[in-house]
Amino acid sequence: MAAATATPLVIAVDGPAASGKGTLARRLAAHYGLAYLDTGSLYRATALAVMLAGGDPADEAAAVHAAQALDPARFTDEQLRTPGASEAASKVAAIPAVRTALLDLQRTVTSKLPGAVLDGRDIGTVVCPDADAKLFITAAPETRAQRRHLEHAGRGEDISYEEVLADIRRRDERDSGRAVAPLVPAADAHLLDTTELGIEAAFQAALDLIEGVLRERGRSA
Ligand code: DC
């Protein structure tokens, strides 16, 4: 269980699309008894809100308005996880004022005891630079595309592996190339490559890394 400590325990889990970071972050939160926030869902919900209002996710004014008025619970996971929402989310995420508008929402979660696990792209670098432990999860694009393709197939969505791979490469480029809060590991992040790892092995590796960091910092969880 998490912490009889006075300050919230914060774990940052960053990485590209379908690297396994969401699954790992959710499991880490359950393991340590912490809150969990999928920050990508905030960008996805912002993008969907713009599109439902008939706007263009790349339009700064519309996207900022949607981010400022965001109700994170408005959409179901199913609505948030479509390829269209993924593509539109990476467009709103490239707008600096959208990122600023979503910062408070993310930091509120980390200010409450016992703490939280957040997953995203810039958690260790921008949202929670003082996180107690930071992981950066990677995997080969082909492996990530296979995983995403299976997810889509599981939901009965008809999209080819090649389309998913192209989509992942396009989003990687946009997420890594943007000027503000690009997808890069924090200097003090621990890298974990899940290309060859199943869920259990990846979880164990993540846990080992975090336990090591917390021990080094004299921080109990
Ligand atoms: O993790 P995801 O696929 O649900 O993220 C959706 C989009 O939002 C993705 O293009 C990257 C962006 N994102 C971001 O820029 N910063 C975050 N902290 C989380 C997601």
Q: Provide the b/e sequence for 122-155 (b: ≥16 CB within 10 Å).
A: bbbbbbbeebbbbbbbbbebebbbbbbbeebeee
Pocket flag, ligand 1, residue 106 (CB < 6 Å): no
Long-range contacts of 147-151 (CB under 8 A, 24+ apart): 147/18, 147/20, 148/17, 148/18, 151/18, 151/81
Question: Ligand 1 centre from 43 Cα, in Å?
Answer: 6
Residue-level pLDDT at 59: 98
Residue-level pLDDT at 36: 98
> Can you tell me the mean pLDDT for 88-114?
95
Nearest CA to ligand 1 atom 6: 40
Ligand 1 atom nearest to CA at 90: 10
Pocket flag, ligand 1, residue 171 (CB < 6 Å): yes
Angle between helices 40-52 and 96-110 (to 10 degrees): 130
Total-model pTM: 0.93
Q: Can you give the three-state secondary structure of 203-215, one letter per residue?
A: HHHHHHHHHHHHH
Q: Tell me the best of 13, 78, 90, 103 to mutate to test the pocket of ligand 1, counting ligand atoms within 8 Å of each CB and taking the most.
A: 90
Q: Tell me the best of 23, 24, 26, 43 to mutate to test the pocket of ligand 1, counting ligand atoms within 8 Å of each CB and taking the most.
A: 43
> Can you tell me the mean pLDDT for 190-194?
96
| CA atoms within 13 A of residue 158's CA, in its CB half-sphere | 0
Question: Ligand 1 centre from 14 Cα, in Å?
Answer: 10
Q: Enumerate the β-bridge partners of residue 116.
A: 10, 35
Residue-level pLDDT at 3: 44
Pocket flag, ligand 1, residue 40 (CB < 6 Å): yes
Pocket flag, ligand 1, residue 65 (CB < 6 Å): no
Return d(Cα 80, Cα 96) in angstroms, integer: 21
Residue-level pLDDT at 5: 60
Length of the chain: 221
| CA atoms within 13 A of residue 72's CA, in its CB half-sphere | 13
Ligand 1 atom nearest to CA at 41: 4
pLDDT at 1 over 60: no
> Can you tell me the mean pLDDT for 163-192?
90
Sheet strands (E) in the chain:
9-14, 35-38, 115-120, 133-138, 190-193
Q: How confident is the model at residue 220 (pLDDT cuts 50, 70, 90)?
A: confident
Are the C-beta atoms of 57 and 92 separated by less than 8 Å?
yes
pLDDT digits (tens, 9 = 90+) for 26-35: 999 999 999 9
Pocket flag, ligand 1, residue 80 (CB < 6 Å): no
All domains of the chain in start order, with CATH = 9-210 (3.40.50.300)
Q: In terms of pLDDT, which residue wins out, 220 or 157? A: 157
pLDDT digits (tens, 9 = 90+) for 103-150: 999 999 999 999 999 999 999 999 999 999 999 999 999 999 999 999
Instruction: Please tell me whether residue 180 adopts helix, strand or coil conformation.
Output: coil
Q: How confident is the model at residue 219 (pLDDT cuts 50, 70, 90)?
A: confident
